[in-house]
Structure 1
Amino acid sequence: MIRSSIGIVAVIGLGLGLAACGKDSSKTGGSNGATSGSSTVASKLIMGGSAEFKTRANGLPGLKKNYGVVFGKYTVTDTGGPVTVGALVNGQIDAADIFSTDPSIKKYGFVSLKDPKNNFAAQNITPLVTKSKATPGVEAVLNAVSAKLSQQALVDMVSQAITDKEDPAAVAKAFLAKNPINMPGKASGVSLSVGSSNFPESVVLGNLYSQALKSAGAKVTDKFNIGSREKYYPALKAGSINMFPEYNGALASYLDNSTSASSTAEVMAALEKALPSSIVALTPAQAQDNDSVMVTKATAEKYHLVSIADLAKKD
């Protein structure tokens, strides 16, 4: 689960060939197994999201297993970013995997469908560190940052980076000025690289942990905007990246698509079991950024959608 940005309508002209939404999607069937005879609400809709969401345990397979939801079509857009948001706004998809901290939810009045069966696991921000770099000082600094990272703080920083278009480094600096770590020299003598994915929230978080480490005396090389988990996780595993702010539930599912862990404690246990011995997962932050099935207000009203389960109703 890697996350969001808004830049929106102009991005749609990238020539991704997103299909128009509407009843045609239920006639053709879709890449996740819907057939032309389907008559549920979901069978009439196009779902959009990342390539990873299509196959991971709590993505399309989880929606089908836990709710009996099978969409008429699935269109790969991006990871909860501007292509996904723009496609939902413009009616090129009818539902989307968008993350809970995304400012587009408020801006466009999207409706987040409730998840009573906890298909989507906890997604706490969790620092991952190469074991050889995880000195007591480095761990203390990173855990101190996580301890100050509340849900509201994360939402506010994401809004500043996306809606207000502030530089992620400046957003992180302002947060640390208000929430000082004050551990001078704690990480002295350690050289490491800090990575991030290529969406604003991840870049803000990368800057946040990187700046805290630098202020504590570590020599840090920033490697931001790497891309999706398929790109950055192998680099973390190989040690070319030494620290990465991850989403514990998404990574646990990525490493073990059979996991049913849901709560933060369950997810952390599953993650620690699945991680290679070369990587350490530190204390998760209270802040989370969960996957959410989003629809527009018009779609919610048209099909009387409140919960994900409502998508499986006969229409």
Structure 2
Amino acid sequence: MRRSLTAVLGGLAVLALAACGEPGSAGGGGGSTSDPAATDSDVQACAPIAGDQLVVLEDDQQLQTVDNVIPAINAEAAEPAMIAALDAVSASLDTDQLIELNQAVDIERNTSTQAAAEFYETAGIEITDTSGSGPVVVGVANFSESITLGELYALALTDAGYDPEVRTIGNRETYLPALQSGELTVVPEYVGTLTEFLNKSVNGPDATAENPMASADLDATVENLRSLGEEAGLVFGEPSDAADQNAYAVTQAFAEEHGVSTLSELAETCGDLVLGGPVECPDRPFCQPGLEETYGLDFAEFVSLDAGGPLTKQALTAGDIALGMVFSSDAVLATD
């Protein structure tokens, strides 16, 4: 695969406007709440600034929960050769590489099968345990990133001796019961999202609010996920460094005008901001309330758009909003 360069500008990831697939993002509330660094006298009103390039501001106080990619496996079907093959894929991936895979499919219009095969060869993924045998079914959700990850899993499982089939099932509510029943063998999942999904399933519908088990701490969240998995009939491979989680973007022109690269710097510099995101943002701890409480950000207005989709990105580039919610593995983060 032709690898595109992800430009890093002092903690900023540069984005080129494009549509993307549905992410696995967990939400948040995982960061610690701190006293706002800025006061009203420290900040100026910062109007939106239009621009074709978008940049993500670093979540430097870890408001968002982790959402690293992790293989979820039916416990009865799990074998050492299978887990080792899936772990080899995890070890090969980071967020920049996941962005490039998404770019290959969502922007360059390769198929997920083509993108996965090219990455698998280029990354030099080596499978050392080839003792596997028999059919396995790799389940994937109905968005391109999940399908591409499933194709990567299938390549590794083939080299491990298995006969894999990649099957698109739908959303988590559909594919997770199929994974638990053994209809599916393995599914690419997201650490934080699945942890809280299982938390509700195992501990009741109020568990996420009363006793959240996903946080900004990857090790702690994975430990909780493995514990919940024991009750759900699931085991897990190792998490990858690739993450697909909520992020917040401004235009590059806005960032350069105000000299900001992190959410803390934005709070210290700007007030009366216009925020855009999904309709539930004003009520969700990872969105407007979290930005206000964790960072002390000051919003003059919220514009209801979508969850990291084209409406939010178009509103940013048009200068209708100053800050918008995107996703950290979105294909638009990759630039040539």
Are residue 265 (structure 1) and residue 250 (structure 2) matched? no
Q: Tell me which residue corresponds to 1:175.
A: 119
C-alpha separation in 2, matches of 1:189 and 1:269: 29
CA RMSD of aligned residues (A): 3.8
User: 1:114·1:308 contact (CA, 8 Å) conserved in 2?
Assistant: no
Q: TM-score, normalised by structure 2?
A: 0.58
1:161 to 100, 105, 108: 105
User: Cα offset for 1:66?
Assistant: 5.6
In structure 1, give the amino acid aligned to 2:213. T
Percent identity of the aligned residues? 25
Aligned counterpart, 2:144? 200
Asked if structure 1 preserves the Cα contact closer than 8 Å seen for 2:64 and 2:215, the reply is: no
Unaligned segments of structure 2, at least 5 residues = 1-16, 35-50, 200-207, 259-270, 276-289, 301-336
Looking at structure 1, the residues matched to 19 and 273 of structure 2 have their Cα atoms a distance apart, in angstroms, of 29
* Number of positions where the alignment pairs a residue of Structure 1 with one of Structure 2: 228
Which blocks of at least 5 consecutive residues in structure 1 are unaligned?
9-48, 68-106
- In the TM superposition, residue 158 of structure 1 has moved relative to its aligned partner by 1.0
Residues 180 and 112 (structure 1 numbering): CA distance in 2 closer, same or farther, change over 3 Å?
A: closer
Measure, in 2, the Cα distance between the counterparts of 1:273 and 1:230.
20
Matches within 5 A, 1:193-272: 193-224=137-168, 226-256=169-199, 257=208, 258-272=212-226
Letter in 2 for 1:261: S
Deviation at 1:182, TM superposition (A): 4.0
Summarize the Cα distance change of 1:57–1:274 in structure 2 as closer, same or farther, 3 Å threshold: farther
Residue type of the alignment partner of 2:111:
D
Deviation string 1:79-121 (CA, Å, 9 cap, x unpaired) is xxxxxxxxxxxxxxxxxxxxxxxxxxxx953453543442311
Under a length normalisation based on structure 1, what TM-score does the superposition of the two structures give? 0.61
Task: Give the superposition deviation at 1:170.
Answer: 0.5
Per-residue deviation, residues 23-72 of structure 1 (Å, max 9, x unmatched)? xxxxxxxxxxxxxxxxxxxxxxxxxx99x98xx772xxx49x969xxxxx
Cα distance, 1:117–1:152 mapped onto 2, change above 3 Å: closer
2-structure distance, mates of 1:130, 1:108 = 44
Q: Residue type of the partner of 1:214?
A: T
Higher strand share: 2
Q: Which residue of 1 aligns with 2:133?
A: 189
Looking at structure 1, the residues matched to 274 and 19 of structure 2 have their Cα atoms a distance apart, in angstroms, of: 27
Q: Which amino acid aligns with 2:174?
A: K
Bigger relative contact order, structure 1 or 2 (CA pairs below 8 A, ≥6 apart): 2
Shift of 1:126: 0.4
